[in-house]
Amino acid sequence: MRKSLLITTCCLLMALGASAQIPSLERVEPMFWWVGMSNPNLQLIIHGKDIASRNVQFTYPGVKLVAVHKVENPNYLFLDLRISQSASPGTFPIKFVKSGEKALTYQYTLKKRDHSKGRAQGVTNQDLIYLIMPDRFSNGDTKNDSIAGLREMSVDRSKMFSRHGGDLQGIMNHLDYLKDLGVTAIWLTPAVENDEPSASYHGYAVTDHYKIDPRYGNNELYKQFVEKCHSMGMKVVMDLVHNHAGTEGYTIQDMPMKSWVHQWPTYTKSNFRDAAVMDPHVSPSDRKQMLDGWFDHRMADMNENNPYVQNFLTQNHVWWVEYSGVDGFRLDTYPYNDPQYMADWAKEVRTEFPHLSIFGETLVWSAANQAFFTEGNTVNRGLDTHLPGITDGVWKEAVYEALNGHKGWTDGVNRLYAVMAQDFLYKDATKNTIFLDNHDMSRFLSVVGEDITKYKSGMAMLMTMRGVPQMYYGDEILMKNFSNPDGLVREDFPGGWPGDKENKFTAAGRSKKENDAFNYVRTLANYRKNTTALQTGKMMQYIPQDGVYLYFRYDNLKTVMVVYNSEEKDQSITTQRYTERINGALKARNVITDETIDVSKLTIPAKATLILELLPDNTH
> Which of the residues are catalytic?
332, 361
Integer CA distances (angstroms), 4 to 248, 266, 294, 350, in order? 11, 9, 10, 35
How many CB atoms lie under 10 A from the CB of residue 302? 26
Q: Tell me the C-alpha distance between 214 and 152, whole Å.
A: 12
> What DSSP letter does each residue of 391-436 carry, written as one string?
B-HHHHHHHHHHHHS---SSSTHHHHHHHHHGGGGSS-GGGSEEES
Cross-sheet strand order for the sheet of 596-598: 538-541, 548-554, 559-565, 609-615, 587-590, 596-598
Helix 452-464 crosses helix 512-529 at what angle (to 10 degrees)?
10
Nearest to 338 by CA among 382, 290, 269: 290
**φ, ψ dihedrals at 385, nearest 5°:** -70, -20
The answer to whether the beta carbons of residues 459 and 521 sit under 8 Å apart is yes
Q: Tell me the C-alpha distance between 178 and 175, whole Å.
A: 5
The answer to whether the beta carbons of residues 147 and 153 sit under 8 Å apart is yes
Triad 128, 133, 134: Cα angle to 5°: 110
